[in-house]
C-alpha cells in the first residue's frame, strides 16, 4: 500500500528493497507483489551472515538482554537493514528513503538514526506516520485502489529474524492475559517436554563456533539451536518493556538460541575473568544493550564498548555444557584461560591459609567498614 501511496502523493519512482536477516518470508512473492504495484526495480538482499557475524556476534560478546529479558533481535537488525537500503539508494540515485514504521514504535528511531548518520542528504518519508490511517482504513484504501492484500494466516503480528521472533496482537496488550499456545512457533510448551537435551557449546574469542563438536558458521549454529532448544521448551520471553517512545508495552518473544548462547557465554566469562573484570564487564554489557535498544547505533560509545568487549573476549574460549528441559541449566564449563583452580578450591586437599594469615586478611579486609561503623554508631549497635 505504501508503494501506491508514495506514487500518488509524490509522483515517485519507487525502488523497493527486502533485506533477508533470517525472517520466514516468501521473498519471491514479495518481489512479485512489488512489481505488480509498479515499482521501478526490486532488490532482495541476503544479509543473514552479515547479521550473524556483525550485530549478533557483538550481542553475544556483550550478553545483550535489554532489561534482563529481551535479546534485542529487532533492535539489532534495523541499523543493518538501513545500511543495505542506503547502498541501494546510492546505486539507484534515489533522493529519499521511505520506511514502514509508525509513530508509536521504537523502529522509527532506529531506522532514522541510521539514515541520518550514513545518508544525511536523503529525505526520510514515513508513510504510516503521515497518512494517519488505522488498520480498517488501510484495508478500505487498499480495496478502493485495487491493491492486493496478502492473506493473513494469524491474528498475531510477527517480526522475526535469526535472533528473535517478536509476537504482538490486541489480545496480548492486556498484561494479565496469558499468551495462547498458537502464538508460539519456535518453542513447544515446556509442560510437554519429556526428555532432556544435552549440549556442549564451544566458544572461541567470545563467539560460539560449534555445538556438540560440530563446527558451524554462526548463522547456521543459531538456526540449529533455535530448532533444538525450542523443541525442548526453552526460549520464551514475556515481559513489560520500557519503550524509547515514552510508554511501557507488554512484549512476547521467542529466542531459544539467543537466550542459550548468552547464558552460556556469561557463564564462561565468570570462569575466566577476575572479579573486577566481571563486574566491570556487566556495566559495559548493560550500557551497550541500552544504546542498541534506544536506537543509538552510531553513538561513539557503542563502537568503543565493542572494541573493549573484543579485547576482553579474546580470553573467552572454551566449552560450556548445557542441559535443556523446559528451562536451561549450565552443568559444566572449561577453558584454557580459566581462573578457577580445583587445586585451590578443593575442600579436602585444597590450599588453606594459616590461622595467622586468615586473621590478618580479615582484619585488613574489614578495617574500612568497621572504622566507619564505630565512628557513626559505636560498638554497641548491632
Which residue positions form the known binding site? 70, 100, 102, 106-107, 110, 157, 166, 241, 253
Annotated binding site for L-aspartate: 102, 106-107
Phi, psi of 319 (to 5 degrees): -130, 140
d(C-alpha 13, C-alpha 46), whole Å: 24
Residue partners of 132: CB distance under 8 A and separation at least 6: none
Give which of 232, 294, 302, 293 is closest to 260, Cα–Cα.
232
Q: Which residues contact 326 (CB under 8 A, 6 or more apart)?
A: 190, 191, 193, 232, 233, 234
Annotated binding residues for ATP, written as ranges, equal 100
At 64 the three-state DSSP class reads: coil
Please report where in the chains the cell 491474528 appears, as a residue.
155
Q: What are phi and psi of 365, to 5 degrees?
A: -65, -35
Instruction: Of 22, 226, 212, 15, give the one whose Cα is nearest residue 122.
Output: 15
| Closest CA relative to residue 84, chosen from 122, 108, 51 | 51
Angle between helices 107-118 and 73-92 (to 10 degrees): 40
Helix or strand or coil: residue 84? Answer: helix
Rounded to 5 degrees, φ, ψ at 164 are -150, 160
Under 8 Å between Cβ of 99 and 108: yes
Annotated binding site for L-citrulline: 70, 106, 110, 157, 166, 241, 253
Dihedral angle of Cα 76, 227, 326, 322, to the nearest 10 degrees: -80
Pairs from 90-96 (Cβ < 8 Å, separation ≥ 24): 90/119, 92/15, 92/40, 92/41, 94/15, 94/122, 95/122, 95/123, 96/10, 96/12, 96/122, 96/123, 96/124, 96/125
Q: Specify which residues 253 forms β-bridges with.
A: 166, 237
**Contact residues for 203 (Cβ-Cβ < 8 A; gap 6+):** 209, 264, 265, 268, 316, 317, 318, 319, 320
Amino acid at each position: 500500500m505504501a508503494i501506491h501511496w508514495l506514487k500518488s502523493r509524490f509522483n515517485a519512482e519507487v525502488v523497493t528493497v527486502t533485506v533477508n536477516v533470517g525472517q520466514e518470508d516468501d521473498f519471491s512473492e514479495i518481489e512479485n507483489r512489488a512489481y505488480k504495484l509498479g515499482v521501478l526495480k526490486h532488490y532482495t538482499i541476503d544479509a543473514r551472515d552479515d547479521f550473524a557475524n556483525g550485530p549478533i556476534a557483538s550481542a553475544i560478546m556483550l550478553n545483550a538482554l535489554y532489561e534482563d529479558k529481551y535479546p534485542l533481535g529487532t533492535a539489532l537488525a534495523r541499523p543493518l537493514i538501513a545500511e543495505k537500503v542506503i547502498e541501494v539508494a546510492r546505486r539507484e540515485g534515489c533522493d529519499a528513503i521511505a520506511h514502514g514504521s509508525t509513530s508509536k514504535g521504537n523502529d522509527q528511531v532506529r531506522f532514522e538514526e541510521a539514515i541520518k548518520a550514513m545518508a544525511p542528504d536523503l529525505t526520510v518519508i514515513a508513510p504510516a506516520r503521515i497518512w494517519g490511517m488505522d488498520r480498517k482504513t488501510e484495508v478500505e484504501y487498499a480495496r478502493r485502489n485495487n491493491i492486493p492484500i496478502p492473506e493473513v494466516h494469524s491474528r498475531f503480528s510477527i517480526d522475526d529474524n535469526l535472533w528473535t521472533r517478536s509476537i504482538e496482537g490486541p489480545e496480548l496488550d492486556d498484561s494479565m492475559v496469558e499468551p495462547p499456545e498458537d502464538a508460539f512457533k519456535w518453542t513447544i510448551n515446556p509442560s510437554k517436554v519429556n526428555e532432556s537435551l544435552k549440549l556442549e557449546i564451544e566458544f572461541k574469542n567470545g563467539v560460539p563456533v560449534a555445538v556438540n563438536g560440530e563446527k558451524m558458521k554462526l548463522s547456521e549454529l543459531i538456526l540449529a539451536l533455535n530448532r533444538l532448544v525450542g523443541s525442548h521448551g526453552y526460549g520464551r520471553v514475556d515481559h513489560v518493556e520500557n519503550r524509547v517512545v515514552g510508554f511501557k508495552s507488554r512484549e512476547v518473544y521467542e529466542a531459544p538460541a539467543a537466550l542459550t548462547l548468552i547464558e552460556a557465554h556469561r557463564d564462561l566469562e565468570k570462569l575466566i575473568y577476575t572479579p573486577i573484570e566481571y563486574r566491570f564487564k556487566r556495566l559495559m554489557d548493560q550500557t551497550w544493550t541500552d544504546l542498541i535498544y534506544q536506537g543509538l547505533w552510531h553513538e561513539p560509545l557503542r563502537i568503543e564498548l565493542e572494541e573493549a568487549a573484543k579485547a576482553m573476549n579474546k580470553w573467552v574460549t572454551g566449552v560450556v555444557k548445557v542441559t535443556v528441559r523446559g528451562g536451561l541449566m549450565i552443568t559444566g564449563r572449561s577453558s584454557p584461560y580459566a581462573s578457577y583452580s580445583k587445586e585451590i578450591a578443593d575442600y579436602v586437599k585444597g590450599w588453606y591459609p594459616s590461622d595467622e594469615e586468615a586473621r590478618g586478611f580479615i582484619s585488613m579486609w574489614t578495617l574500612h567498614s568497621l572504622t566507619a561503623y564505630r565512628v557513626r554508631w559505636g560498638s554497641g549497635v548491632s
